Structure 1
Amino acid sequence: MGVYFERAGRENTARVISIVKATVKERGMRHVVVASTYGDTGLLAAEALKGLPVNLVVVTHNVGFKEPGALELTDETRARLESLGAKVYTGTMVMRNLGTALRQKMGFSDQDIIANTLRIFGQGIKVCCEIAMMAADAGLVPPEDVITVAGTGRGADTAAIIKAMPSNMFFDLKVREILVKPKDW
């Protein structure tokens, strides 16, 4: 049974990373995928998992998420993550690609149905599913169970074990277990 926080938010980040580290050790998990916009959560995970036999993938926003040509993660932070052994992936976000352009122009997109359905379980669970697909799309994790870490806004408040699959095989992705999430995000 998972852990449930009373509130969503970055104040849960250290506890989430601790739960992830314990799960890696107890279950021999080989892959951890962490959402990290600015790199703070990724750095905490990289420091905590240092020395463990785990493939850490840090997934950022796509370039242009907020403004054309801009990325929130700095080159210095990317270099620091990589020096700690993390792989950093910046690419198209599965639930924010052409569908977002359609929604902005036409008012609706099919991707909204999937994203909003996943949000029923929390913003973090939606992002956990998304980053598992992104890492699989990039070939950074195999189609097997991985630990995913995400949050509501900044920091982390959610972790889940997900069978990662590429985005074109979305319906084969499986949320195996929710390790931790907010009760009400």
Structure 2
Amino acid sequence: MYTYFEKAGRVNTEAALKIAFKAFKERGLKHIVIASTFGDTGLKAAELFAGKEANLVVVTHNVGFREPGKIEITQEMRAKIESLGAKVYTGTMVLRNIGTAIRELQQYSQQDLIANTLRLFGQGIKVCVEIALMACDAGLVPPEDVITVAGTARGADTVAIIKAMPSNKLFNLKVREILAKPRDW
């Protein structure tokens, strides 16, 4: 069943996580990848999936995303999430880093083209694809169907089932289903 949220953003976090949990229970998918900048959404997901036979991976921004040498998630938040059995992954954002540097010089990059094409479906879909690639690159999820949760700005508003692939196999990745997304993206 597909859900449209009337507005984008964190107001949908609880509902998006419930949709992901329902897919986890009903479909037998054991890998869940959640985008979380500051850790709030990651902590809610870790609490929801705690004690379940789930491989929950919380993907943060890379160090230096906003300011060189800094990361938005605190060590305390990371420790809380990990204490509930989830993994927290901080790594290179596949559709941002090098392409952003090239864009600053040339006004264009191939990564930007891919990211902006995915944004036609919503910011959350772009992030769902990106975190599936990142988690697979890190060996935290296998190249198989995973539940992904992401959002627009803070919180979660998008849930998709994606066949994860490493980033060098981007075009083998498959967006199997979009379970929820904001209508007004």
Shorter-chain-normalised TM-score: which range? over 0.9
Q: Write the mapping of 1:33-182 to structure 2, written as runs, cut at 5 A.
A: 33-182=33-182
How far residue 154 of structure 1 moved from its aligned partner, in angstroms, is: 0.2
Using the alignment, how far apart are the partners of 1:153 and 1:162 within structure 2? 21
- The code of the aligned residue for 2:4 comes to Y
Using the alignment, how far apart are the partners of 1:184 and 1:174 within structure 2? 24
How far residue 104 of structure 1 moved from its aligned partner, in angstroms, is: 1.2
**Percent of matched pairs sharing the same residue:** 70
Task: State how many pairs are aligned.
Answer: 185
How far residue 52 of structure 1 moved from its aligned partner, in angstroms, is: 1.2
How far residue 42 of structure 1 moved from its aligned partner, in angstroms, is: 0.3
- The Cα offsets for residues 40-64 of structure 1, whole Å up to 9 and x where unpaired, read as 0000000011121110000000000
Using the alignment, how far apart are the partners of 1:152 and 1:114 within structure 2? 18
- The code of the aligned residue for 1:75 comes to Q
- The code of the aligned residue for 2:151 comes to G
- The Cα offsets for residues 79-133 of structure 1, whole Å up to 9 and x where unpaired, read as 1111010100000000112111011122111111100100000000000000000
- The code of the aligned residue for 2:35 comes to A
How far residue 68 of structure 1 moved from its aligned partner, in angstroms, is: 0.3
- The code of the aligned residue for 1:34 comes to I
Matched residue, 1:10 = 10
Using the alignment, how far apart are the partners of 2:106 and 2:66 within structure 1? 20
Using the alignment, how far apart are the partners of 2:96 and 2:22 within structure 1? 32
Using the alignment, how far apart are the partners of 1:148 and 1:167 within structure 2? 16
Give the secondary structure class of the aligned counterpart of 1:154.
coil
How far residue 167 of structure 1 moved from its aligned partner, in angstroms, is: 0.3
Give the secondary structure class of the aligned counterpart of 1:141.
coil
Gap runs ≥5 in structure 1:
none
Using the alignment, how far apart are the partners of 1:81 and 1:96 within structure 2? 25
**Post-superposition, which runs of at least 4 consecutive aligned residues in structure 1 deviate over 2 A?**
none
- The code of the aligned residue for 1:53 comes to E
